Amino acid sequence: MKFLFFSVCFATAFSLGSALNISDINGPGFLSPYSGKAVSAVQGLVTAKGPSGFWIRSTMPDSNSTSSNSVYVFSSSAGKNLTVGDIITLDATVSEYRSSSAYLYLTELTAPKNISLISSGNQVTPLVIGEGTKSPPTEQFSSLDKGDILGLPNNSSQISAQNSTLQPQLYGLDFWESLSGELVTVQKPTAIAKPNAYGDTWVIGSWKTTGLNSRGGLTLTARDSNPEAIMIADPLDGSDNPKGTRVGDSLQDITGVVTQAFGYYVINPLTALNVTGSAQPTLPPPATFSSCGNCKGLTVGSYNVENLGPNTTHLPNIAAHIVDYLKTPDLMFLQEIQDNNGATDTGVVDANITLSTLVEAIRVRSNLTYASTAINPVNDQDGGEPGGNIRVAYLYNPAVLQLRNPNPGSSTDANAVLPGPELKYNPGRIDPLNAAWNASRKPLAAAWETRDGKNKFFTVNVHFGSKGGGSSIEGDARPPVNGGVYDRLAQTNATASFIASILAADSKARIITSGDFNEFAFAAPLETFQNISQLRDVDELAGVDEVERYSYLFDMNCQELDHMYVSEALARGAVIAKEIVHVNTWASYAGQVSDHDPSVARLDVCQD
Ligand SMILES: *[C@@H]1O[C@H](CO)[C@@H](O)[C@H](O)[C@H]1NC(C)=O
Ligand SMILES: *[C@@H]1O[C@H](CO)[C@@H](O)[C@H](O)[C@H]1NC(C)=O
Ligand SMILES: *[C@@H]1O[C@H](CO)[C@@H](O)[C@H](O)[C@H]1NC(C)=O
Ligand SMILES: *[C@@H]1O[C@H](CO)[C@@H](O)[C@H](O)[C@H]1NC(C)=O
Ligand SMILES: *[C@@H]1O[C@H](CO)[C@@H](O)[C@H](O)[C@H]1NC(C)=O
Ligand SMILES: *[C@@H]1O[C@H](CO)[C@@H](O)[C@H](O)[C@H]1NC(C)=O
Ligand SMILES: *[C@@H]1O[C@H](CO)[C@@H](O)[C@H](O)[C@H]1NC(C)=O
Ligand SMILES: *[C@@H]1O[C@H](CO)[C@@H](O)[C@H](O)[C@H]1NC(C)=O
Ligand SMILES: *[C@@H]1O[C@H](CO)[C@@H](O)[C@H](O)[C@H]1NC(C)=O
Ligand SMILES: *[C@@H]1O[C@H](CO)[C@@H](O)[C@H](O)[C@H]1NC(C)=O
Ligand SMILES: *[C@@H]1O[C@H](CO)[C@@H](O)[C@H](O)[C@H]1NC(C)=O
Ligand SMILES: *[C@@H]1O[C@H](CO)[C@@H](O)[C@H](O)[C@H]1NC(C)=O
């Protein structure tokens, strides 16, 4: 107690009596040692001005990279008389600010007063990121993630509670925190995502990266979640960033201040981003392979068609993707097929008009008339856009394959594996009354054969629960909350157990599972899925490069939420191939047709 008393007294006396360096104010950790305290005669060079404050940098910056030498001064009025290049002293209160308890704190000076101008017209030189030791780490965000940002339990600790000493060479959050308030330049930036509604855009600069894909984006891989990217937020001059930026666009050098906003480290640039070039070609080429037309090489496509109703304006474009880019696969796994009146909540659950409208749009473009099959959900029970009743569905080329002894189940009938093995319902939903599927789509299992009645194989079309409700990858909770992860663990378990029961009846059964798993191959739900089902990842079988495995963009990451897995009996064959056609991730936000990329694979399903 005696020591504590002494320590508090000392800190207070020190903060009131002495001139502190800005790096002393920031301190070596995430939170200031002087939080809540008054500081006086803080000296700094004004490096930038914004609508609600200004930034100052120590006039004696130290070379120790652990604490930032700059800080934000929050005040809507005090900066009015100041000019970039002024050296001032001021008195203020040190404050830690965040707008949500899920975010990290920003250390700032508030209520500045007694501002004295020491000199004007001083040179302001931005610090160049990537020069010297100021290069961001490329894999890990925080020591608290213990090497795996997808580790469980999630939120087992919080940065604000640990307040560890920064390790900017090792961890991305520590790196960006060590530059908090600093005026920086990003040289030769590349856009690596689409802007959000405000024009905020993720970029990388001319520094070392890992996970770079051939388009110029960064792909999330196991234990590499790309902290070397930084979001560019609102320009300080009141202009707007462009909204049409695409992955791989090159940009003019960016100069701005590092700060913390809405759960992310961002740079507020002095002026709006300027796109100077784009990756070519604008859109990817179509799949390089097509169906052999027989069991030796069937093509199987998968596409989350994003809330597709009969009248949605993107329906013809979805049809065009299936025809032009996927080359009309023999079997299509679709997700997010809405009912016949789309997102209108009137109790309608049938989707036959949605499907027949899509089939007709494909026929007009290709002259192939697909057949379709799906099972209605119970009204309003499967989540997604209210009233839309999204479900998974199959389209298939009836000239090549057919359902084996069709016997569709009802919305609540649980499919089962009968001797043979055969399916009790064809198609039929898996375990639809299991609580694992509350407010989520039930997987649809089906049995197929080629038109000659031979070459039986099974499929399971999935659309697992979403990651909604998760916390920011740069937020306070470590590891971040992976929204819905426990639902997906239960869902992958139930689905994999069903698949395992087919293989228990016939270890040589040919099984294809595909769809929107809403999860990464290297996260616990899909590791569980593979362990229980013993299925193989077609990306691996077909040799898809790890960094090219992406079907979705979120935050800074190109990432793969959509997958295809097959049983051992399908893991062989000379024709095996898989391509993810990046027709949506490469497009601008306005130009994308769905938020997911489609993919297509070719498999040998012939009976031995
Ligand atoms: C955070 O850590 C700094 C040292 O880096 C310490 O002075 C300060 O008191 C800590 N703040 C909190 C709230 O833990
Ligand atoms: C204002 O700041 C100057 C320079 O730090 C200091 O000498 C002076 O005492 C301060 N005035 C007041 C009223 O605090
Ligand atoms: C400010 O920083 C300089 C350079 O690192 C150092 O010499 C000086 O002692 C610091 N001042 C305070 C008050 O810590
Ligand atoms: C930088 O500061 C930290 C924390 O105060 C200290 O542990 C480290 O030794 C310093 N590094 C250098 C190069 O001075
Ligand atoms: C700005 O300068 C004017 C003239 O010196 C002074 O009257 C005013 O109080 C200053 N405003 C602020 C916000 O410091
Ligand atoms: C993480 O856990 C802490 C402590 O229980 C809690 O205060 C915080 O709200 C949690 N964060 C998230 C994002 O759930
Ligand atoms: C994951 O985070 C959420 C939100 O903080 C919490 O409710 C849940 O219990 C966490 N899971 C585990 C296993 O800690
Ligand atoms: C954007 O970049 C181009 C090419 O470097 C340049 O010609 C143009 O002046 C820039 N526009 C702005 C607003 O800076
Ligand atoms: C779709 O368009 C058709 C033809 O215009 C119309 O009859 C039908 O009511 C529309 N359906 C919905 C859900 O808007
Ligand atoms: C859709 O299904 C309903 C009910 O079975 C049927 O009356 C209608 O004719 C079907 N419409 C189409 C376009 O298939
Ligand atoms: C279109 O498909 C139909 C039915 O398969 C076939 O009879 C017809 O010859 C095809 N037309 C063209 C132009 O390929
Ligand atoms: C899968 O579910 C079963 C039955 O609920 C349970 O006993 C088992 O522990 C689960 N396995 C995993 C890996 O979650």
> What pLDDT, in 10s, does the model give residues 408-434?
999 999 999 999 999 999 999 999 999
User: What does the pLDDT average to over 226-232?
Assistant: 98
Ligand 5 pocket residue status of 76, Cβ below 6 Å = no
Residue nearest to atom 5 of ligand 1 (CA): 29
> Does the pLDDT of residue 10 top 60, yes or no?
no
| Ligand 3 cavity residues, CB under 6 Å | 19-21, 24, 60, 62
Burial 201-220 (b: 16+ CB within 10 A, else e): bbbbbbbebebbbebbbbbb
> CA 86, 92, 95, 97: dihedral to nearest 10 degrees?
-50
At 608, the pLDDT band (50, 70, 90 cuts) reads confident
User: What does the pLDDT average to over 488-517?
Assistant: 98
> Does the pLDDT of residue 99 top 90, yes or no?
yes
Q: Are 445 and 458 in contact (CB under 8 A)?
A: yes
Centre of ligand 10 from the C-alpha of residue 143, in Å: 57
Dist CA 213 CA 190 (whole Å):
12
DSSP-based three-state secondary structure for 537: strand
Q: What is the pLDDT of residue 13?
A: 34
Query: Relative to the CA of 67, which ligand 4 atom is closest?
Result: 2
Q: Which of 62, 63, 66, 67 to mutate to test the pocket of ligand 3 (most atoms within 8 A of CB)?
A: 62
Give CA angle at 202 (198, 207), nearest 5°: 155
Q: What is the pLDDT of residue 3?
A: 31
Residue (of 20, 16, 70, 59) closest to 42 by Cα position: 20
Dist CA 83 CA 49 (whole Å):
8
At 603, the pLDDT band (50, 70, 90 cuts) reads very high
| Ligand 6 cavity residues, CB under 6 Å | 101-102, 155, 158, 471, 477, 481
User: What does the pLDDT average to over 389-395?
Assistant: 99
At 8, the pLDDT band (50, 70, 90 cuts) reads very low
Q: Which of 340, 349, 350 to mutate to test the pocket of ligand 10 (most atoms within 8 A of CB)?
A: 350
> Does the pLDDT of residue 407 top 50, yes or no?
yes
Q: Are 299 and 325 in contact (CB under 8 A)?
A: no
Query: Residue 217 corresponds to which tokens in the numbers above?
Result: 């984006």
> Does the pLDDT of residue 12 top 90, yes or no?
no
The H or E element that residue 326 is part of is: none
Q: Are 43 and 2 in contact (CB under 8 A)?
A: no
Q: What percent of the chain has pLDDT over 90?
A: 94
DSSP-based three-state secondary structure for 245: coil
> Does the pLDDT of residue 362 top 60, yes or no?
yes
> Does the pLDDT of residue 2 top 60, yes or no?
no
Query: Relative to the CA of 27, which ligand 1 atom is closest?
Result: 5
> Does the pLDDT of residue 600 top 50, yes or no?
yes
User: What does the pLDDT average to over 486-506?
Assistant: 98
Contacts of 51 (CB under 8 A, 6+ apart): 76, 236, 238
pTM of the model: 0.94
**Would you tell me the crossing angle of helices 485-505 and 524-533 to the nearest 10 degrees?**
10
Phi, psi of 603 (to 5 degrees): -135, 150
Burial 225-251 (b: 16+ CB within 10 A, else e): bbbbbbbbbbbbeeeebbeebbbbbbb
Q: pLDDT tens-digit profile of 443-471?
A: 999 999 999 999 999 999 999 999 999 99
> CA 158, 161, 165, 170: dihedral to nearest 10 degrees?
0
Range from 18-32, 109-123, 157-171 carrying the lowest mean pLDDT: 18-32
Dist CA 355 CA 337 (whole Å):
8
Cis peptide before 153 (omega within 30 of 0): yes
Q: pLDDT tens-digit profile of 258-285?
A: 999 999 999 999 999 999 999 999 999 9
Query: Residue 202 corresponds to which tokens in the numbers above?
Result: 């993720």
Q: pLDDT tens-digit profile of 512-565?
A: 999 999 999 999 999 999 999 999 999 999 999 999 999 999 999 999 999 999
Amino acid making up residue 329: P
> Does the pLDDT of residue 15 top 80, yes or no?
no
Q: Are 47 and 69 in contact (CB under 8 A)?
A: no
Domains of the chain by range and CATH?
2-119 (2.40.50), 126-282 (2.40.50), 295-603 (3.60.10.10)
